[in-house]
């Protein structure tokens, strides 16, 4: 709040004017000294010429000012003459008015005197008449007769109206057809009697149906008891079956555990076979291998044997003569990419594209050696291997080959461990990523559904106006519901009594109301303790300002958990607030000050009822 002035301000203003005058005077003296001290005549002439031009301009301005002054003086003299004439006319009019008022008062006195004379003459003339009637004067009699005549006329008009009403009622009664009305009533009574008979018959029928339903209910209760007994027996049978099923499940679990143990042993043997094969290749040991034609002819036999029930001894002999196919360069102990154990067929398929599979030929072994796992055979083989190693040493081979092989094998195992660890970490991180992605989508859709459900009601409350009690319509929609984060959200709002348009085609006030509706809808999902709003009513008209203020007042009612701090320049907000805070400038201190007003303590606006 600003305005007014004080003695201090006027004193400072006068001081500033004196200071400016002093500064200008000093500047004038300084310029005069500079002009006097100039040694160059050319500069002096130029300055003199400039000053002469300025002087001639000032002289022209002075001439124009003098002409204006003369014209102003002429107009002033003319106006003074006109003012004197007006004053003279005013005095004359006042004198005439006083004379007319005196004449009017004299005329009034004369009229009163003449009226008194007339009244006295009437009293003398009608004295006997007034005395016979018992009145003070004939004028009293005339007034009484006038009142009585007026009352008689009013009473006569009322009697005539009542008579017309009675005549109309009589005419209506005469035109009414009483026999037809009686006949109509009799017909109505007959219809009611027939309806009563029908209802009685329906009641008897309903009673019979009720008895039948009771009998049927008793029968169903008996059946229910029988069914319950049957159900109990079935339940006992089901319990026995569940017990049997549990035993079978335990046996299956044991069998699966045994199968898993066998598969683990099989994988261990495969790993041992792979390491042995790689070591044999590294030591350039020639192993008996099956050629492509033998593999092609053996594959259909193996497939037929797998699907033809228990293997025969001949089939077992054929299978023992050849091993399963495997990659010659496969990793030692590698499993599937998903971290689980692969079957023999899956393990055989984990090869580099274009690489051939190898298969060892055991047909050169004796039948007893192929089917025997005795320690004697292993000892003989170990002895033979030691003899071969001694022969190798006598042949002066590369003595570092085994160390190199061990080093390469250890590095291979290390790389395999790192690979498995990295693969497990990648799998874990991928699972965590998908879990976070699913949680993010779930939380987003939860918030979106709540806000989309609430925004229409909030927008209707903000846009309810006279003539359109339901308000406008607003809704949110996802551009891609399956992947909401890849695309956006579309917000549409249709003000009351208007056709549908895109958001960018709405006016500034309509967009403001839509934005407030979205804000309050978000608040319904995750409430905040208070709002700070800066001139949200800048683009709103008076109707929308009042409606928004009432809506905020309803949400900030006493006992609620929501507060609003609104910065506004419109009084429609002021009378809906609980308190006001004003900011003004203190000119004495050259700073801003605040004033507060509690409208509730000072008898502020009444509470707004919920819409």
* Residue 364 pLDDT exceeds 80: no
Does 205 score more than 70 pLDDT? yes
Residue 163 has pLDDT above 60, yes or no: yes
496-536 pLDDT, tens digit per residue, is 877 777 888 888 888 888 898 888 888 888 888 888 888 88
Report angle CA 270, 271, 276 to the nearest 5 degrees: 95
Phi and psi torsions of 333, nearest 5°: 75, 15
- pLDDT of amino acid 604: 53
**CATH fold for the domain made of 527-611:** Rossmann fold (3.40.50)
Distance CA 128, CA 138 (A): 10
Chain centre to alpha carbon of residue 125: 99
Structure confidence at residue 373 as a pLDDT band (50, 70, 90): low
Measured distance CA(440)–CA(95) in Å, rounded: 98
Count of other CB atoms within 10 angstroms of residue 540: 21
In the chain, pLDDT over 90 holds for what percent of residues?
Answer: 3
pLDDT in tens, 546-585: 888 888 888 777 666 678 888 888 777 777 788 888 888 8
User: Of 331-335, 431-435, 452-456, which range is least confident?
Assistant: 331-335
Give 338-359 pLDDT, tens digit per residue.
Answer: 334 444 444 444 444 445 677 7
* pLDDT > 60? residue 32: yes
Give dist(CA 217, CA 153) in Å, integer: 86
Which phi and psi (to 5°) does residue 176 adopt?
Answer: -75, 140
Residue 558, CA distances (Å) to 285, 552, 594, 607, 610 in order:
95, 12, 25, 9, 13
β-pair partners for 399: none
Count CA within 13 A, CB hemisphere, residue 192: 6
Q: Which residue has the higher pLDDT, 548 or 607?
A: 548
Average pLDDT over residues 459-482: 81
Cα distance between residue 609 and residue 574, in whole Å: 17
Per-residue pLDDT tens digits for 208-218: 888 888 888 88
Examine the pLDDT at 198 and tell me if it is beyond 70: yes
User: For residues 533 and 364, which has the higher predicted lDDT (pLDDT)?
Assistant: 533
Question: Which token pair is 595?
Answer: 């004033």
Which residue carries 């939380």 as its tokens?
A: 443
| pLDDT confidence bin for 436, thresholds 50/70/90 | very high
Whose structure tokens read 């291997």?
Answer: 385
- Give the integer Cα–Cα distance in Å for 232 and 540: 74
Res 5: pLDDT: 45
Q: Residues 6 or more apart from 183 whose CB is under 8 A from it?
A: none
Tell me the pairing of strands 357-358 and 473-478: unpaired
User: pLDDT for 323-332, tens place per residue?
Assistant: 567 766 665 4
Residue-level length of the chain: 611
Predicted confidence at residue 111, as pLDDT, reads: 87
CA torsion through residues 78, 84, 90, 96, sign: negative
d(CA 484, CA 476): 13
pTM of the model: 0.35
More confident site: 597 or 175: 597
What's the pLDDT at 433? 92
* Mean confidence (pLDDT) of the chain: 77
Write out pLDDT tens, residues 45-68: 777 778 888 888 888 888 888 888
User: How confident is the model over 80-91, as pLDDT tens digits?
Assistant: 999 999 999 999
Is pLDDT above 90 for 429? yes
What mean pLDDT comes out for the span 302-306?
A: 47
290, 322 in Cβ contact below 8 A? yes
SS (H, E, C) 371-394: CCCCHHHHHHHHHHHHHHHHHHHH
Instruction: Say whether pLDDT at 443 is over 80.
Output: yes
Give the tens place of pLDDT for each residue, 97-154: 999 988 888 888 888 888 888 878 877 777 777 777 777 777 777 788 888 888 888 8
Closest of 324, 339, 340 to residue 274, by C-alpha: 324
3-state class (DSSP) for residue 233: helix
Contact present, 330 and 342 (Cβ < 8 Å):
no
- Reply yes or no on whether the pLDDT at 194 is more than 90: no
- Residue 565 has φ and ψ, to the nearest 5°, of -120, 110
Checking if the pLDDT of 388 tops 90, the result is no
Domain extent listing, the chain: 126-173, 289-428, 527-611
């Amino acid at each position: 709040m600003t305005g007014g002035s004080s003695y201090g301000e006027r004193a400072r203003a006068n001081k500033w004017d004196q200071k400016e005058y002093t500064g200008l005077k000093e500047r004038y003296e300084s310029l005069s000294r500079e002009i006097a001290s100039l040694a160059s005549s050319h500069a002096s002439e130029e300055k003199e010429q400039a000053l002469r031009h300025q002087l001639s301009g000032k002289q022209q301005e002075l001439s124009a000012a003098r002409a204006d002054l003369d014209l102003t003086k002429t107009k002033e003299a003319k106006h003074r003459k006109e003012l004197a004439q007006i004053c003279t006319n005013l005095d004359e009019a006042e004198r005439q008015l006083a004379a007319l008022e005196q004449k009017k008062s004299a005329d009034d006195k004369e009229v009163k005197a003449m009226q008194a004379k007339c009244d006295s003459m009437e009293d003398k003339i009608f004295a006997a008449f007034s005395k016979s009637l018992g009145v003070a004067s004939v004028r009293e009699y005339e007034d009484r007769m006038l009142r009585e005549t007026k009352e008689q006329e009013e009473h006569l008009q009322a009697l005539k109206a009542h008579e017309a009403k009675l005549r109309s009622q009589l005419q209506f009664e005469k035109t009414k057809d009483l026999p037809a009305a009686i006949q109509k009533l009799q017909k109505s009574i007959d219809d009611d009697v027939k309806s009563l008979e029908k209802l009685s018959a329906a009641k008897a029928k309903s009673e019979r149906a009720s008895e039948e339903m009771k009998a049927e209910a008793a029968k169903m209760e008996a059946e229910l008891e029988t069914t319950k007994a049957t159900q109990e027996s079935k339940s006992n049978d089901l319990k026995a079956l569940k017990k049997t099923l549990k035993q079978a499940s335990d046996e299956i679990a044991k069998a699966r555990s045994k199968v898993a143990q066998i598969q683990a042993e099989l994988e261990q043997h495969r790993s041992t076979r792979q390491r042995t094969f790689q070591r044999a290749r590294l030591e350039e040991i020639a192993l008996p291998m099956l050629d492509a034609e033998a593999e092609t002819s053996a594959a259909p036999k193996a497939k037929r044997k797998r699907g033809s029930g228990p293997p025969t001894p001949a089939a077992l002999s054929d299978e023992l003569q050849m091993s399963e196919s495997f990659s010659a360069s496969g990793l030692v102990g590698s499993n599937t990419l998903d971290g689980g154990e692969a079957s023999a067929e899956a393990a055989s398929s984990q090869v580099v594209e274009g690489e051939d599979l190898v298969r060892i030929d055991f047909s050169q072994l004796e039948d007893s050696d192929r089917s025997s796992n005795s320690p004697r055979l292993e000892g003989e083989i170990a002895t033979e291997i030691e003899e071969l190693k001694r022969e190798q040493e006598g042949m002066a081979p590369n003595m570092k080959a085994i160390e190199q092989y061990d080093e390469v094998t250890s590095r291979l195992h290390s790389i395999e461990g790192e690979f498995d660890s990295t693969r497990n970490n990648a799998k874990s991180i991928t699972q965590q990523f998908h879990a976070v992605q699913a949680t993010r989508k779930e939380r987003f859709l939860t918030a979106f559904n709540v806000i989309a459900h609430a925004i229409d009601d909030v927008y209707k409350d903000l846009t309810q106006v006279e003539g359109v009690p339901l308000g406008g319509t607003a809704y949110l929609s996802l551009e891609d519901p399956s992947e909401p984060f890849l695309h956006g959200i579309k917000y549409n709002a249709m003000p009351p009594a208007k056709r549908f348009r895109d958001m960018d085609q709405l006016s500034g006030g309509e967009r403001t109301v839509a934005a407030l509706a979205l804000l309050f809808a978000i608040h319904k999902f995750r409430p905040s303790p208070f709002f700070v709003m800066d001139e949200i009513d800048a683009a709103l008209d008076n109707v929308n300002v009042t409606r928004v203020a009432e809506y905020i007042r309803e949400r900030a009612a006493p006992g609620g958990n929501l507060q609003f701090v609104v910065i506004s320049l419109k009084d429609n907000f002021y009378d809906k607030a609980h308190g006001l805070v004003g900011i003004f400038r203190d000119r004495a201190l050259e700073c801003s000050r605040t004033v507060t007003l509690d409208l509730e303590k000072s008898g502020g606006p009444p509470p707004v009822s919920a819409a």
